[in-house]
């Protein structure tokens, strides 16, 4: 019977460690910084800059690009993010994933056109 108690306790400890470790990894994403982004390609694409500040899972900041300048709002869930902004008379939504200093995803402009994007955080340039 003692063997079964030890095995049960061992599995409980492993589960607790896995949960704690998983939670720590999920909280490691911090998008605070200056991001250089490449959207689409050719004449339809663009190279906007986002300056972001993350507090908890909330993003705020600025956009500067082809459509002018705008404030941005967004959220972070794990390593997934969503950024919304209004510039050039229409709304844009950037949805994607962040891994370290790299981001990628899909941008939707005015609910009509969609383009893929990638981005990289400029190290040393915190807002």
Query: Mind listing the pLDDT tens digit for each residue in 37-55?
Result: 999 977 778 999 999 999 9
- Of residues 44 and 21, more confidently modeled: 44
Amino acid 10: pLDDT? 63
Q: Which two tokens stand for residue 97?
A: 């994933």
Angstrom distance (rounded) from CA 53 to CA 35: 11
pLDDT greater than 70 at residue 9: no
pLDDT (average), residues 26-30: 74
Angstrom distance (rounded) from CA 14 to CA 19: 9
Angstrom distance (rounded) from CA 56 to CA 58: 6
Q: Percentage of the chain with pLDDT > 90?
A: 62
* 43: DSSP letter: G
Q: Which two tokens stand for residue 125?
A: 């340039």
| pLDDT tens string 59-93 | 999 999 988 999 999 999 999 999 999 988 889 99
Q: Specify which residues 99 forms β-bridges with.
A: 102
């Amino acid at each position: 019977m003692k063997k079964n108690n030890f095995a049960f306790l061992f599995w409980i400890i492993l589960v607790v460690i896995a949960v704690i470790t998983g939670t720590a990894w999920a909280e490691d994403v911090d998008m605070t910084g200056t991001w250089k982004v490449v959207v689409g390609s050719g004449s339809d694409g663009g190279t906007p800059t986002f300056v972001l500040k993350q507090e908890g899972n909330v993003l705020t900041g600025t956009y500067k690009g082809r459509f002018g300048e705008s404030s941005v709002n967004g959220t972070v869930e794990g390593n997934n993010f969503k950024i919304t902004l209004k510039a050039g008379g229409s709304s844009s939504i950037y949805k994607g994933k962040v891994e370290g200093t790299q981001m990628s995803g899909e941008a939707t402009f005015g609910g009509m056109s969609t383009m893929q994007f990638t981005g990289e955080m400029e190290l040393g340039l915190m807002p």
